[in-house]
């Protein structure tokens, strides 16, 4: 009877050991944190990290997870826009003469009426020639015609103040001409743009002012 009890105890002990052997789990390696690599990072550095993990834990490291960090977008610098050049309309062009005179700037498409003291009494935009047929220089008013006809008889103009002659016809100041059917050849809003064949076109009120100012012999200075 004693032998049977001893055998039973031994069997129970073996069974307990077996259950313990079955239920004990092998230690697992800790899951490494994702390895973050910037674009272009060296793979040799990542391999070295893996080997170090294997030597330390003694287990095979799980497959490496590489998280690529995108490069920040390149934001272009805003273009530098130069400030517009503001020209004082009362300032006369350089080298535009002295005394009482008319000044016409081909580049600015502007006229100045200047009194004896050198003060500007009136300035306004005009439309000069779209051709290169008027040289800069000093001229004088030669003749005046209250009502005039275009050299090719295509239209009429008023308050014509001539100061030089072109290849085909005199050149001077007058109002915006009209075609024979009465249609203006350009608008007042277009003044400031070279549109004529040689003369300098003015708004009606400016043409009247020029007519009163530009008597025969009046100096006319043309600048580039």
The token pair at 90 is 């009362």
Indicate if the alpha-carbon torsion angle 137, 141, 142, 145 is positive or negative: positive
How far is residue 203 from each of residues 110, 123, 159, 173, 186, measured CA to CA in Å? Answer: 12, 12, 11, 11, 10
Active-site residue, from 103, 161, 199, 209: 199
- Burial of residue 116 (number of CB atoms within 10 Å: 0-12, 13-18, 19+): exposed
In the residue annotation, 147 being an active-site residue is answered as no
Active-site residue, from 101, 110, 144, 174: 174
Cβ atoms of 102 and 112 closer than 8 Å: yes
- Dist. CA 167–CA 188, nearest whole Å: 27
120 φ, ψ (degrees, to nearest 5): -80, 120
- With b for 16 or more beta-carbon neighbours within 10 A and e for fewer, the 42-66 pattern comes to eeeeeeeebeebeeeeeeebeeeee
- Dist. CA 21–CA 36, nearest whole Å: 40
In the residue annotation, 199 being an active-site residue is answered as yes
Q: If we measure between CA atoms, which residue out of 201, 7, 211 comes closest to residue 104?
A: 201
Active site residues: 174, 199
């Amino acid at each position: 009877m004693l032998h049977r009890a001893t055998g039973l105890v031994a069997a129970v002990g073996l069974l307990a050991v077996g259950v313990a052997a079955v239920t004990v789990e092998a230690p697992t390696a800790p899951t490494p944190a994702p390895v973050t690599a910037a674009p272009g990072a060296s793979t040799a550095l990542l391999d070295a990290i893996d080997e170090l993990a294997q030597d330390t834990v003694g287990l095979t490291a799980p497959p490496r997870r590489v998280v690529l960090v995108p490069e920040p977008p390149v934001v272009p610098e805003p273009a530098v826009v130069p400030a517009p050049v503001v020209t004082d309309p009362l300032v006369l062009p350089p080298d535009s003469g002295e005394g009482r005179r008319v000044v016409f700037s081909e580049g600015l498409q502007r006229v100045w009426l200047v009194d004896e003291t050198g003060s500007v009494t009136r300035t306004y935009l005009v439309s000069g020639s779209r051709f290169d047929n008027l040289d800069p220089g000093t001229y004088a008013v030669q003749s005046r015609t209250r009502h005039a006809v275009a050299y090719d008889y295509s239209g009429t103009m008023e308050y014509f103040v001539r100061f030089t002659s072109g290849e085909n016809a005199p050149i001077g100041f007058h109002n915006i001409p009209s075609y024979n059917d009465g249609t203006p050849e350009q608008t007042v809003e277009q003044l400031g743009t070279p549109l004529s064949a040689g003369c300098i076109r003015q708004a009606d009120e400016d043409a009247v002012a020029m007519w009163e100012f530009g008597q025969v012999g009046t100096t006319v200075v043309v600048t580039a």
